[in-house]
């Protein structure tokens, strides 16, 4: 069976990663969560005083420090999924907090940050057999991906999912704050100058607001089988 590149893009918290992980496991592909990479750089920036008290970014400082940032992946023995490491430290549990979510979009809007991460992402896809999720995978990282999916769902439904996810992880949060963060990130991600979130012309749109996981999976497998 021929190996392909699967690009999954869409708004925040629309279930992209769950879907991409599941698909990768099912078809035996490597899964790469590019959001985790932008989150890890954000965590690095937060730890290294790149933000001032108002949340402004010291771009000169970040630019100078960025060459020292090494992102690698480590397979979790239990879930068998790759987790991101920041200079050798597995930071999976630090990058999903609301605080990182609140700082990540401005960091991801910086062209020099995107350039570094996109280069690494493209190298990971050289051998194909990869499912990558993010915002610019079908448009910038892999414009020639054989299967491109653009996932969407209403902001309220996405905020509800995020809320439940944090609750399950024992990280209680405020629903309105999450909704506001989801809407804010949608705005920044779609309006930034470098690689804004947009649907690639040849992407298939999947609105999963009212789909069950099983229905979504059946749809995905059909599209995958058509292309392999
Ligand atoms: O997917 P996730 O919500 O974890 O991504 C966090 C943030 O990283 C997004 O809100 C977006 O600003 C940024 N991102 C990006 N390009 C990607 C993946 C994520 O700009 N390919």
Assign residue 30 the CATH number of its domain.
3.40.50.300
Ligand 1: centre distance to CA 1 (Å): 31
Look at residue 12 and tell me whether its pLDDT is greater than 90.
no
11 annotated to bind ligand: yes
Tell me the pLDDT tens digit for each residue of 61-91.
999 999 999 999 999 999 888 999 999 999 9
For residues 40 and 37, what is the distance between their CA atoms, to the nearest angstrom? 5
Supply the DSSP symbol for 137. Answer: I
Ligand 1: centre distance to CA 23 (Å): 20
Angstrom CA distances, 15 to 12, 123, 154, 186, stand at 8, 25, 12, 14
Q: Give the chain's mean pLDDT.
A: 95
Q: What is the pLDDT of residue 20?
A: 95
Across 84-93, 162-171, 200-209, least confident range: 162-171
Tell me the pLDDT tens digit for each residue of 88-108.
999 999 999 989 999 999 999
Q: Could you list the residue range(s) of the whole structural domain that residue 130 is in?
A: 5-227
Atom of ligand 1 nearest to the CA of 109: 20
**Ligand 1 interacting residues, C-beta cut-off 6 A:** 12, 34-35, 38-39, 104-105, 108, 134-136, 185, 189
Hey, what are 225's tokens? 């089988």
Q: What is the pLDDT of residue 210?
A: 87
Taking residues 38-45, what's their average pLDDT? 98
Ligand 1: centre distance to CA 225 (Å): 28
Residue 191 — very low, low, confident or very high, per pLDDT cuts 50/70/90?
A: very high
Judge whether 57 and 106 are in contact, CB under 8 Å.
yes
H-helix or E-strand containing 131?
strand 130-134
In the chain, the number of structural domains is: 1
Which mutation among 100, 118, 134 tests ligand 1's pocket best, with the greatest number of atoms within 8 A of CB? 134
Ligand 1: centre distance to CA 135 (Å): 6
* Helix/strand/coil for 161: helix
Look at residue 169 and tell me whether its pLDDT is greater than 90.
no
Tell me the pLDDT tens digit for each residue of 142-153.
999 999 999 999
ipTM: 0.99
Atom of ligand 1 nearest to the CA of 13: 3
Q: Which of the pair, 165 or 58, is modelled with greater confidence?
A: 58
């Amino acid at each position: 069976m021929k190996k392909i590149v699967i690009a999954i893009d869409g708004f925040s918290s629309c279930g992209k990663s769950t879907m991409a992980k599941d698909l990768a496991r099912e078809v035996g592909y490597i899964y790469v969560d590019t959001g985790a990479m932008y989150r890890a750089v954000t965590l690095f920036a937060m730890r290294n005083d790149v933000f001032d008290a108002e949340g402004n970014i010291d771009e000169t400082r970040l630019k100078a420090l960025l060459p020292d940032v090494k992102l690698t992946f480590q397979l979790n023995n239990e879930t068998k999924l790759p987790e991101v490491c920041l200079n050798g430290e597995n930071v999976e549990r630090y990058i999903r907090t609301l605080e990182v979510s609140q700082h990540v979009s401005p960091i991801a809007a910086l062209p020099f940050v995107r350039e570094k991460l996109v280069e690494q992402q493209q190298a990971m896809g050289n051998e194909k057999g990869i499912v990558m999720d993010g915002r610019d995978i079908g448009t910038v990282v892999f414009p020639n991906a054989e299967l491109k999916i653009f996932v969407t769902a209403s902001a309220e439904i996405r905020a509800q999912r995020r809320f439940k996810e944090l609750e399950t992880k024992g990280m209680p949060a405020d629903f309105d704050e999450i909704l506001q963060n989801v809407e804010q990130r949608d705005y920044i991600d779609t309006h930034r100058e470098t690689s804004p979130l947009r649907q690639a012309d040849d992407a298939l749109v999947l609105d999963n607001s009212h789909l069950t996981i099983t229905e979504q999976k059946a749809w995905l497998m059909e599209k995958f089988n058509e292309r392999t």
